[in-house]
Amino acid sequence: MKLFITFILLITTMNAIDLKPYETKIKQLSNEERFVLINKGTEAPYTGKYTDEKSNGIYRCKICNTPLYKSSDKFDSSCGWPSFDDEIEGAVKRVPDADGRRVEIVCAKCGGHLGHVFEGEGFTPKNTRHCVNSISLTLDSTPKVKDNNLSYAYFAGGCFWGVEYYLEKLDGVKEVSSGFMGGNVKNPSYYEVVRGNTGHLEAVEVIYDKAKISYEKIAKTFFEIHDPTQTDGQGPDIGEQYLSAIFVNNEGEKNTIRSLITKLEINGFSVATKILDKQEYYKADEEHQNHYNKKGTKPYCHGYKRRF
């Protein structure tokens, strides 16, 4: 019994997490994330968002953002969790699990729990399987090369999920992503913006084929899927990050927006939408993309209303 207690104490010491440098991030974790990353729990099989993910990129630690795995080392093991046969050198630490049988893997930098590692299963030539909880990771996708045949537009109209939902349905729009623009903090997190201390607006980037749809058509739709007269946010979402604005790339876009606003004012609308120069766009993390499509629901504070 004494030997067993000594072993458990050794395991506890080896698995100790120095949380102090990451206190702010730890506070932002959801209960489910805390259960896995801090309390060493396990998410249910086949429920994690990265289990079947095929995108290229780097998987990072949810707590400290350290690069842990390359997508090129990910493989399908049909085990119910994301599987990798290798880690980025020095990024993942192996420690004996408290159950005395398995080998736990943690982030070498912050100690956040990732999952377990298994060897000798024969899935790949490396004969190693890192069985990782999706909830312990974030995926930093490889940036797409910009196509000269495509154009980019930027809109802010309250919660970015609703704007994304409607604009991505337009014929000629190739992709819409949710993110942030207009602030003074580089690479802001969603929670930093929500607290309203970065100066950013929740915005969307619209990638469209200008041969199939015009900038004016997209902007017109934007004015009709949110309330451009609201001055303090959008619907029940109140705050500076939810204000209505259009970030323009050039004078041509600016003139288009001015013309549309003039038409709205003639129709009796007192437009609060700001016209701002385009700034650096920061795409939100993957869990904030395609929110309503993932949930199978519709926006609660956006909807179509003809205004022109």
User: Rounded to whole angstroms, how far apart are CA atoms 96 and 161?
Assistant: 42
| Bridge partners, 208 (sequence order) | 151, 173
Q: Where do the domains of the chain lie?
A: 2-141, 150-295
Does the domain at 150-295 match CATH 3.40.50.720? Answer given as no
Instruction: Determine the pLDDT at residue 19.
Output: 62
* SS3 letters across the chain: CHHHHHHHHHHHHHCCCCCHHHHHHHHHCCHHHHHHHCCCCCCCCCCCCCCCCCCCEEEEECCCCCEEEEHHHEECCCCCCCEECCCCCCCEEEEECCCCCCEEEEECCCCCEEEEEEECCCCCCCCEEEEECHHHEEEEECCCCCCCCEEEEEEEECCHHHHHHHHCCCCCEEEEEEEEECCCCCCCCHHHHHCCCCCCEEEEEEEEECCCCCHHHHHHHHHHHCCCCCCCEECCEECHHHCEEEEECCHHHHHHHHHHHHHHHHCCCCCCCEEEECCCCEECCHHHCCHHHHHCCCCCCCCCCCCC
* pLDDT tens digits in sequence order for the chain, 308 residues long: 443 333 333 334 334 555 677 888 888 899 999 999 999 999 999 999 999 888 889 999 999 999 999 998 999 898 999 999 999 999 999 999 988 899 999 999 999 999 999 999 999 999 999 999 999 999 988 765 666 779 999 999 999 999 999 999 999 999 999 999 999 988 888 888 988 889 999 999 999 999 999 999 999 999 999 999 999 999 999 999 999 999 999 999 999 999 999 999 999 999 999 999 999 999 988 778 888 888 889 998 999 999 99
- Is the separation of the CB atoms in 200 and 188 below 8 Å? yes
pTM of the model: 0.58
State the catalytic residues.
Answer: 131, 159
Exposure string over 162-180, b if 16+ CB within 10 A, otherwise e: bbbbbbbeeeebeebbbbb
Task: Assign a CATH topology to domain 2-141.
Answer: 2.170.150
Instruction: Determine the pLDDT at residue 16.
Output: 53
Instruction: Determine the pLDDT at residue 111.
Output: 92
Joined together, the tokens standing for residue 196 give 């309203």
Nearest by Cα to 63 from 17, 114, 26, 32? 26
